[in-house]
Amino acid sequence: MIKWILFILLCLIWGSSFVLMKTGLETLSPYQVASLRILFTGVVMLPLLPRALKTVPKEIIRPIILSGFLGSFFPAFLFSLAQTKIDSSLAGILNSLTPIFTVAIGTMFFKLKIGWIKWAGMITGFAGMMVLLLGNTKGISLHYLGYAFFVILATIFYGLNVNVVNQLLRNTQPLHVTTIAFSALTIPTLIILATTGYFTDPNLLNGNWTQGTIAAATLGIMGTGVASVLFYSLVSKAGPVFASTVTYGIPFVAIGWGLIYGEQISLIQVAGMCVILIGVRLANK
């Protein structure tokens, strides 16, 4: 029962993260949104860092930091960049490719053995992805495709991270993993914020918290911090394959928010989403 509760909570939290990114991008650059998202998570976790460092074996710290970069740092920037050009609903749909890449990377690098059904699922998922891209209501251009592939690259990082967590961090307490990972990530995010001029923004200097900053803070604390603890717990309790299937529910939550905010969803996109989910189901069968 507990794994299904974690599953539903993650679907709701991560499915809502796309609309929060969109809100943040209305007043901030994609680099600032991604950096603030991670920074707020790290700041919240900092008080727990001394205990985490005392509890976790030293040889596990590097894999934890690596997991932070793979599962949060790089995807955060890729998603923020992608959503400057694509709808949040499409980003949520493409995110459902994560289980396919989890299986593919596990097979190639982590000695995961799969049968022909899983291979058929991965091929079906890629076919659905192409249907989504070709059926977007904004039309297709090489420029647009490039931004859509930012999301695909992020799902590759997710798939790699799931396998890393399962192989190296499955027996480590999720809260300690999240604390160490995001505490370490505060340093590069502060550097990025400084170089992009965030700390010299007149609105910030005058004490005015912009809508984008509030959205990024919410995204960081809930969509990254809390969600990371829940996700590491799910991997620990149910394994990497079940954990990666969280993306089954994310597209539906993302589409719901997209419709609320007036985004248009074409029938071809719905068909593409269905094909992707069929592929993901086969890949995890």
pLDDT tens readout for residues 98-126: 888 888 888 888 877 777 777 787 788 78
**CA 48, CA 27: separation in Å to the nearest integer?**
32
CA-to-CA distance for 86 and 233, rounded, in angstroms?
31
Largest CA distance in the chain: 60
Report the C-alpha gap between 75 and 192 in whole angstroms. Answer: 15
> Does residue 148 surpass a pLDDT of 70?
yes
Question: 45 pLDDT band (50/70/90 cuts)?
Answer: very high
DSSP 229: H
pLDDT value at position 60? 93
